[in-house]
Amino acid sequence: MRIWTYTFGCKVNQYETELLRHRLSVPGSVHVADPAEADLCLINTCSVTAFADKEARQMIRRVLRVNPTARTIVTGCYATRAPEEVQAISSRIEIYSNAEKNELPSCVGFEVADQPLGIHQFAGRTRAFLKIQDGCKAPCNYCIIPTVRPTMTSKPVEGVLEEFHALLDHGYQEIVLTGIRLGLYHGKNGTGSISLLKLLEKLVDIPGRFRIRLSSLEVTEVTDELIDFVRGHPKICRHFHIPMQSGDAGVLKDMKRW
């Protein structure tokens, strides 16, 4: 089977597409660069803005046009938020919500006993993304993310370490830790759980030449302790990606940011 994938949106979505590529890489399957050549087309959508929805619809229509016989699957945040809109494009489309992504390979007929729980390489990239957290419950009144990713989860520490080692073994020298609310990471570690800072302390102790970058953080998640640790360790990029905030407390209150 020839498989084509396309991703819209954030690093979490990009990671999840790569994980699906790994899980669909069974004997007899091959990944192709042109949707017109594929037997299975998979589009992972974003819905953070109306423009993102529009881009997804345009891509779906293009794929249906250039390959009218392929099995066409749409997943991701737009498919989760507005499945009726997506289905209205064509009855040929198969829709899987974010909650159904992990089951997608078996649902489309890829019965593999040992599905990979993580990735070991990132197609076409010199740095790798490693998703360690998912979900958001913030009440911000302008944001759709808590609706499409409402379940807060963190990857267990053992799983993070295994995946991190696998990426290093495949030559990646920069690994980007990513999540919907990365700063709220609390991964299971034995009988307890640890924070993002404690996870970083474990990762930097791994031998080798590499660097760790943190993807988007909320300003409330950037503590003095995290700043001091990042500043003081050469294996961590001295860079924070933080959304710009209004300086007006009234505006923040109206937005339900705090």
CATH number of the domain that residue 42 is part of: 3.40.50.12160
Final residue before a domain boundary, out of 107, 142, 166: 107
The number of distinct structural domains making up the chain is: 2
pLDDT computed for residue 115 by the predictor? 63
CA 158, 164, 170, 172: dihedral to nearest 10 degrees? 180
Q: Which amino acid is at 14?
A: Q
Residues 92, 158 within the same domain: no
pLDDT computed for residue 116 by the predictor? 66
What stretches of 148-191 adopt beta strand conformation (E)?
153-154, 174-179, 186-189
Burial class of residue 139 in the structure, from the number of CB atoms within 10 Å of its CB (0-12 exposed, 13-18 middle, 19+ buried): exposed
d(CA 73, CA 116): 21
Residues 132, 69 within the same domain: no
Residue at 146 is within a domain: yes
Provide the total of helices (H) and of strands (E) in the chain, helices listed first: 10, 11
Residue at 250 is within a domain: no
Residues 55, 96 within the same domain: yes
Domain that holds residue 33: 2-107
pLDDT by residue for the chain (258 residues), tens digit each?
A: 999 999 999 999 999 999 999 888 888 889 999 999 999 999 999 999 999 999 999 999 999 999 999 999 999 999 999 999 999 999 999 999 999 998 888 888 876 656 667 888 887 778 999 999 999 999 999 899 999 999 999 999 999 999 999 999 999 999 999 999 999 999 999 889 999 999 999 999 999 999 999 999 998 899 999 999 999 999 999 999 998 888 899 998 999 887
CATH number of the domain that residue 148 is part of: 3.30.750.210
Residues 20, 85 within the same domain: yes
Residue 78 structure tokens: 């737009």
Residue at 219 is within a domain: yes
Residues 52, 148 within the same domain: no
Residue at 33 is within a domain: yes
pLDDT computed for residue 154 by the predictor? 98
Residues 18, 99 within the same domain: yes
Residue at 238 is within a domain: no
> pTM for the complete prediction?
0.93
Residues 227, 135 within the same domain: yes
Q: Which amino acid is at 174?
A: E
Residue at 6 is within a domain: yes
Residue at 228 is within a domain: yes
Dihedral pair phi/psi, residue 228, rounded to 5°: -65, -40
d(CA 198, CA 154): 14
Residues 17, 77 within the same domain: yes
Asked if 129 and 40 count as a contact pair (C-beta separation under 8 A), the reply is: no
Residues 136, 101 within the same domain: no
Residue at 189 is within a domain: yes
